[in-house]
């Protein structure tokens, strides 16, 4: 993974707007969501690092993830975002894909 470039991540997020997508999200041991299918209507990235991403989906739902520091596009075209602390431990993850994530 590489450090977030806000312009690049914004562009990648916009590719999901107006489409159905699958979300995988987790935050340490507090939250875990996998293969939650949504129709995305808006995506935003904000902050100066660490970053936060907000995704709006049909019927006025929102998902916001904070503390993001790194990203990559994998070989399946999924957008993978993660937040690492100063010791290199992942604290948060947000992943978007057009197909369901493996179980």
The pLDDT, as a whole number, for residue 87 is: 93
Against a cut of 0.85, is the pTM above it?
yes
Q: What is the CATH number of the domain that holds 59?
A: 2.70.180.10
Q: Count of domains in the chain?
A: 1
Per-residue pLDDT 10s for the chain (103 aa) are: 999 999 999 999 999 999 999 999 888 767 888 888 999 999 999 999 899 999 999 887 999 999 999 999 999 999 999 999 999 999 999 999 999 988 7
Domain range enclosing 53 = 2-90
Does the residue 42 lie in any domain? yes
- The answer to whether 86 and 18 are in contact (CB under 8 A) is no
The pLDDT, as a whole number, for residue 52 is: 97
CA-wise closest residue to 98 among 65, 64, 62, 73: 73
> Left, alpha or beta for 84 (phi > 0: left; psi -120 to 50: alpha)?
beta
Strand partners, 79: 73, 96
């Amino acid at each position: 993974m590489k450090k977030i470039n806000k312009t690049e991540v914004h562009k990648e997020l916009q590719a999901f707007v107006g489409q159905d997508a699958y979300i995988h999200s987790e935050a340490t041991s507090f939250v875990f969501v996998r293969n939650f299918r949504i129709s995305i209507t808006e995506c935003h990235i904000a902050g100066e690092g660490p970053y936060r991403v907000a995704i709006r989906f049909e019927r006025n739902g929102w998902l916001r993830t904070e503390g993001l520091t790194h990203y990559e596009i994998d070989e399946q075209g999924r957008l993978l975002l993660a937040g690492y602390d100063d010791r290199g431990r992942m604290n948060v993850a947000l992943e978007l894909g057009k197909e369901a994530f493996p179980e």
